Amino acid sequence: MNQVGSNTLVDRYQIEQEIGNGGFGVTFLAKDTRMPSERKVVIKKLKPINQSNVDYEIIKNSFQKEAAVLEELGRNHPNIPELYDYFEDEGEFYLVQEYIEGKTLAEISPISQERTFSILTSLLRTLQYIQDKNLIHRDIKPENIIIRSSDGLPVLIDFGAVKDSMGKVRRSSGSVISSVIIGTRGFMSPEQSVGRPTFSSDLYSLGFTMIYALTDKLPVEFEPHPQTGELDWKKYIPNLDPTLEKVLDKAIQDDRSHRYATADEMYQYLHSSQPKKSIKPTEIIANNVDYNSTPPPPTPPLPTTVIDPTPPINTANFNVPETKKQGNLKTASLVVLGGITVLGVAISSYWLTDMITELKAEIDSNNQTITQLEDTVKEKDGQIEQLENELKNANSKTAEITQELTKTKSNLGELSNNLAATQGQLSQAQKTIKDFQDSERIAARYDSSRSSVSSRPDVSWKPQCGSPNNGEKVWWAVKTDGYNLSLVKNNYCGDAMIYSRGETQVASFTSKYEAESFAKMLNAHSGEPFWIRESVRQ
């Protein structure tokens, strides 16, 4: 039996501290007491969303299947954490994974363009490996990429498939569906927000993740262009590399047909105009990692033979006559030249063989991708096309409303006598924009079968929270821990910020009662602690 309260699981894993808490469960840092080294491990405790006996058996079978897939991924790829163990006890499911020492991409951003290019290259190779297994990550974001301290390479964590298994239910028709949407607001593509992720959905998330690495800004912090609706992120990066700009711009297109189909296609575009750089063997692994410098490139997919150079021979202790020594040098030179010629032929033959093998693998991969795309096209029906048209119309209406909002702001000076009415119009316009941008609410409008009952209070995301500033001196601020900034900005209040004491300031109210009510509502919705603090403005 698990003893979480006594900090021990299955008489083996000793919990050291809690390192994460979300809607699907809790994450702990622990040590494996049965291993001689008592190695550190990460334990994820997952809790099913649906508690009926029928759904529980479906969830259990799905969890075991997805855990087996996760085990295979981690065992065969160095940039995916290994799965050491998984088990179920008293209605809760546990994953025991490799502990990756390092910092997340969210912690080290912003970084240089060179560093971003290197990290993106490595992640695309990792994603291509995942896509070759016909799998989709579904939750790529800065917090789920750890830059490993030992070699500076990015490690992809927290796959969404296992969390998705916690929401499996059986419909009255007998079919099994998922009652939850996996992903993070802002980094999640439109098709993923309605439960239809594809390979390009991961590339959409990866594109915004790399933009965050360059700018240290979330997608919701970029203003849309008033005519096209596209997010203007490039103005925050001086001297932006043209290739990087084009690749990232294409990756974050709302229409998936305008994005890259696979990670390998995005990789080829990224490197189509980049000069090749020779790498010394000693550059592959770095003991001390500088997170703002360019890391060593990822290990190539094909094996590389490294020939150690012959150490120099110390001739200081040899007593050889000068003429004889010169003759020996000539003979040695001929031998060395002959050896180099043979070695060059051997290396060239080995290189050509590897190149042919790699080309064949790429052709097979491209053929498989074409087959998958053809199957996807055949499976499209009228409902998908209608939904995509609705999403395009929503983007168009959002651009129109943004134009109206800009006109309203330009006329504020002339409408000072009607300030109250203008503020009401701005609030309504902002609410309308939010409604169209809230992909989950759009999805619920056209796919009622995915709706689920929740006992938590309804808290919707707003660009600004709290009372308007009317000159009051006494305010009540709603606060939470600093590490909850991304949670609050992505799900509740877009204007949240890190304030003094390292706390996240969510919103300010002139009424203590409103502040307390808002804090209790956020606590009930997220499970995170929220509190209020009085402040007096001079």
> Highest mean pLDDT range out of 139-153, 303-317, 375-389?
139-153
Q: Can you say which residues are annotated as belonging to the binding site for ATP?
A: 45
Query: pLDDT (tens digit, 9 = 90+) per residue, 43-53?
Result: 999 877 666 55
Say how far apart CA 308 and CA 304 lie, in whole Å. 13
Q: Give me the amino acid identity at 428.
A: Q
Q: Which residues contact 209 (CB under 8 A, 6 or more apart)?
A: 105, 140, 141, 142, 145, 187
What's the distance, CA 11 to chain centroid? 34
Contact 117, 161 (CB under 8 A): no
Decide if pLDDT at 115 tops 80: yes
What's the confidence (pLDDT) of residue 417?
A: 72
**Per-chain mean pLDDT for the chain:** 77
Token duo for residue 323: 């003429």
Written out in words, the top-level CATH class of the domain with range 102-271 is: mainly alpha
What's the confidence (pLDDT) of residue 267?
A: 98
Contact 482, 431 (CB under 8 A): no
Residue 308: active-site member: no
Of residues 122 and 460, the one with the higher pLDDT is: 122
DSSP state of 23: T
Query: pLDDT (tens digit, 9 = 90+) per residue, 390-429?
Result: 888 888 888 888 888 878 777 766 766 777 776 777 777 6
Closest among 284, 333, 327 to 150, alpha carbons compared: 284
Reported pTM: 0.51
**Which residue bears the tokens 């409303």?**
401
Query: pLDDT (tens digit, 9 = 90+) per residue, 323-368?
Result: 333 343 333 333 333 443 333 434 344 344 445 555 666 677 677 7
Mean pLDDT of 90-113: 94
Say how far apart CA 216 and CA 35 lie, in whole Å. 40
What's the confidence (pLDDT) of residue 171?
A: 54
Fold of the CATH domain 474-536: Alpha-Beta Plaits (3.30.70)
Number of other residues whose CB lies within 10 A of the CB of residue 459: 15
What's the confidence (pLDDT) of residue 281?
A: 30
pLDDT above 90 covers a percentage of the chain that reads: 46
Of residues 289 and 371, the one with the higher pLDDT is: 371
Token duo for residue 119: 């990290």
Domain map (residue ranges) of the chain: 8-98, 102-271, 474-536
Decide if pLDDT at 295 tops 90: no
Ranges 115-119, 183-187, 316-320: which has the least confidence: 316-320
Residue 408 to residues 222, 418, 508, Cα–Cα distance (Å): 20, 12, 26
**DSSP string of 200-227?**
HHHHHHHHHHHHHHHH---GGGSPBPTT
Out of 139, 158, 164, 202, the active site residue is: 139
Say how far apart CA 307 and CA 313 lie, in whole Å. 18
Token duo for residue 396: 């168009």
Token duo for residue 417: 């006598």
Mean pLDDT of 228-242: 91
Of residues 76 and 88, the one with the higher pLDDT is: 76
**DSSP string of 233-249?**
-GGGSTT--HHHHHHHH
What's the confidence (pLDDT) of residue 170?
A: 53
Query: pLDDT (tens digit, 9 = 90+) per residue, 204-215?
Result: 999 999 999 999
Token duo for residue 36: 């001689």
8-98 CATH = 3.30.200.20
> What totals of helices (H) and strands (E) does the chain contain, helices first?
14, 15
Token duo for residue 178: 């998922």
